[in-house]
């Protein structure tokens, strides 16, 4: 059994890239990919906001499972 003082580490692999533009005067769309390394769960994202939402959701699930205080 783990001691209450042990830290739980959560790791993510995050990749971002710019998609090719269809028109020269357009900005290149941002795309991304995130994988939760402990569970293998993964998702594609298209904005920094989606990245933060994904991480927040994963941390809430872990907090609930571990009986920790949820994130604010």
Query: Region 37-61: what's the mean pLDDT?
Result: 91
* pLDDT over 70 at 2, yes or no: no
Q: Which two tokens stand for residue 24?
A: 């020269």
d(CA 18, CA 72): 32
Q: For the chain, give me the number of helices (H) and strands (E)? A: 1, 3
E strands, the chain, in order: 12-18, 30-36, 42-45
Percent of the chain surpassing pLDDT 90:
38
d(CA 11, CA 36): 6
> How would residue 20 be classed by pLDDT, with cut points 50, 70 and 90?
confident
pLDDT of 4: 55
pTM (2 d.p.): 0.69
Percent of the chain surpassing pLDDT 70:
86
């Amino acid at each position: 059994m783990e001691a209450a003082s042990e830290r739980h580490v959560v790791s993510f692999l995050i990749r971002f890239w710019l998609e090719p533009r269809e028109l020269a005067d357009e900005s290149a769309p941002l795309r991304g990919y995130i994988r939760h390394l402990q569970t293998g769960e993964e998702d594609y994202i298209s904005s920094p906001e989606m990245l933060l939402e994904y991480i927040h959701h994963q941390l809430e699930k872990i907090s609930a499972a571990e009986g920790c205080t949820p994130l604010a």
